[in-house]
Amino acid sequence: MAWRGLAAEFLQVPPVTRAYTAACILTTTAVQLEILSPFQLYFNPHLVFRRLQIWRLVTNFLFFGPLGFSFFFNMLFVFRYCRMLEEGSFRGRKADFVFMFLFGGALMTLLGLLGSLFFLGQALMAMLVYVWSRRSPQVRVNFFGLTFQAPFLPWALMGFSLLLGNSILVDLLGIAVGHIYYFLEDVFPNQPGGKRLLLTPGFLKLLLDAREEDPNYLPLPEEQPGAHLPPQH
């Protein structure tokens, strides 16, 4: 019964958050069961462009390492802040949210080439946290007993990675890409002479966003409710 409750609750999660979290968990489970190997998932430009192993452009964002504290910690933050973004500033804008993933992923991949980074899931998580924190500057968060304003959270996460002995290069990459997105989307359009440079492609909106009804639209008689029923005498 507990599993049914968890499954029902998970189905209530917004679709993009649900899909990305599930993909990360399934990928890690497959590696743990030795169905897949990390060597099949990491980003390698030679294998992508010479051997056409295109899936590596995606799978390197889905693997957060073997099951353990680091994996569950990252999954908790991915799920929490991805969900808060999708239910908050991206509410009703699924296409824009997916486009943020695509923009961030593409930029991280290009910049990751310079640092020879093989897995970028943690960078994507840092980007999500950064964008949420800049859009929620007055929110106070609790991080292992420390309470501070939301904009400090990405830096606290980077410090925590450093304490665990991990490279902070991935976190810095995520913060940098998150700041670029935030600047182009939230800051520059509101500057004198500024405009929106990140425009979500129309096919994404057509595919993912529900079409808004025109309040002035008057349906034809045959489209009106009950129009197909014969008149009653």
Residues 63-75 pLDDT 10s: 998 888 889 989 9
Secondary structure element (H or E) that encloses residue 140, with its range: strand 140-143
Q: Which residues span the domain enclosing 161? A: 11-209
CB distance 111 to 49 below 8 Å: no
**Is residue 226 domain-resident?**
no
**Is residue 223 domain-resident?**
no
**Is residue 230 domain-resident?**
no
From residue 43, give the alpha-carbon distance in Å to each of 23, 57, 60, 225: 17, 6, 6, 54
CB distance 116 to 170 below 8 Å: no
Q: Which two tokens stand for residue 203?
A: 């096919």
**Is residue 139 domain-resident?**
yes
Asked whether the predicted pLDDT for residue 230 surpasses 50, the reply is: no
Number of domains in the chain: 1
**Is residue 215 domain-resident?**
no
CATH number at residue 23: 1.20.1540.10
**Is residue 214 domain-resident?**
no
CB distance 19 to 83 below 8 Å: no
pLDDT tens for residues 120-154? Answer: 999 999 999 999 999 999 999 998 888 999 999 99
**Is residue 233 domain-resident?**
no
**Is residue 95 domain-resident?**
yes
Distance CA 193, CA 190 (A): 8
